Structure 1
Amino acid sequence: MDKKQAALARKQLERRLAPLRDLQLAAPPRGWMRAIREALGMSTRQLAARMKAAPSRIPAIEKAEASGATTIKTLREAAAAMNCTFVYAFVPTKPLDDILRDRAAQKAGQNIARLDHTMRLENQPLLRSDLDDEQRRMIDLILANSPRSIWEDD
C-alpha cells in the first residue's frame, strides 16, 4: 500500500473509530454475558440450551469472560443465543495520525538527544531553538518514510 492509500485508509478508519473513542463504556463487574442474560431473565440452563452446551458450561464461560480468559468465538455464540450482536474493536486512545506523529516525535527526540550529547562532548552545544528546529525537521522526515520504520526499537 503506498503512502496516499495508507493515509486514506487511516482517515476512513479514523472516521469509523472516532465515535467509539468518546464512549465511556465500562464492562459490568461480572461481565457482559451475565449482565445481559440476567437482564433478559434467562437462566443459565436456558442459555445453555440455546447455545447447545452443557448447563454447567455457562457459569464457566461467564467467569472466563469476566476474567478475560474466554474466546471471541464463544462470546459470539453466547451473544447470538441471546439475540445480541457481539462487537469487538480496538479503539485508539487518540486519532491514528496523532499516534504516528507522537511516535515519530519520540524517535526524533532520541536522535536529537544523541546529537546534543555528541555536540556537548565536543564542546559545541547547540541552541535550544536549533534543537527544536532539527526535531521538527526529523519528525517530518520520519513521517515521510514508511510508517513501519517508526515502530522499530533502536
Structure 2
Amino acid sequence: MRNKKKLLIEQLDQKLVEFKSAGMVLVPQKGWIHTIRTTFNMTREQLGTKLNVTKGAVQKIEEREATGQITVHKLRDVGKALDMQFVYGYVPKNGSIEDLINLKAEKLARKIVLRTNQNMKLEDQGIGDYKINDLITDLANEIKREMRKSLWD
C-alpha cells in the first residue's frame, strides 16, 4: 500500500513541475480576460461574438473575473474564444508535495511526542531530550507511511 501512495505522490509532483516553473504569477488588476483582450486590440463586441453573448455580458465576465466571482467553466469558454489554453492548478508554496507531507508529518509528530512527554514529566516519567528527536523522527515516518488523515488537521 505504501508503494502505491508514494507513486501517487511522485506522479502528482511531476504533474505540478510545469506549474512550479512558472513561478509566482500576479493576476493583472483588471483580470486576465480584460488584459488579453485589450492587448489583442479586441473589442468587447468581438469577444462577445466569439462567446455568443453581448458586449455587456463580456463586461460582466471581465468584472466577475477581476473580483474572483467567475466560474472555471466560464474561464475555459473564454480561453477557447481567445484561442488560448486555460491553465488551472495548485502548487505547494515551497518545494514538492512530498516536502509538504514531510513537513506536516514532522510537525504532527513533534506535537504528539512533546505533549506525551509533558504528561509523562508530570508523573516523573519524562523522556530525556536526547531521545525526543529520535521519537519524533520515528513517529513522523510512521505518520507518512500511514498517510494519517490527522496530518491535515
TM-score (norm 2): 0.90
In the alignment, structure 1 segments of 5+ residues that lack a partner are none
CA contact (8 A) 2:48 2:55 kept: yes
Q: Counterpart in 1 of 2:110?
A: 109
Deviation at 1:63, TM superposition (A): 1.0
Q: Deviations over 1:79-116 (max 9, x none)?
A: 11111111111122221111111111122112112211
- Whole-Å separation in 1 of the counterparts to 2:80 and 2:67: 21
In the alignment, structure 2 segments of 5+ residues that lack a partner are none
Taking only aligned residues, the RMSD between alpha carbons, in angstroms, comes to: 1.6
Q: Counterpart in 1 of 2:129?
A: 128
- Whole-Å separation in 1 of the counterparts to 2:10 and 2:44: 43
Deviation at 1:61, TM superposition (A): 0.7
SS across alignment from 1:142: helix
Runs of 4+ in 1 over 4 A off after TM superposition: none
Q: Counterpart in 1 of 2:56?
A: 56
Say if 2:10 is the partner of 1:11: yes
Q: Deviations over 1:24-65 (max 9, x none)?
A: 311111111011100110011111111001211111111111
Identity %: 25
- Whole-Å separation in 2 of the counterparts to 1:53 and 1:113: 60
Cα 1:7–1:77, aligned 2, differ >3 Å: closer, same or farther?
same
Deviation at 1:69, TM superposition (A): 0.5
- Whole-Å separation in 1 of the counterparts to 2:99 and 2:111: 18
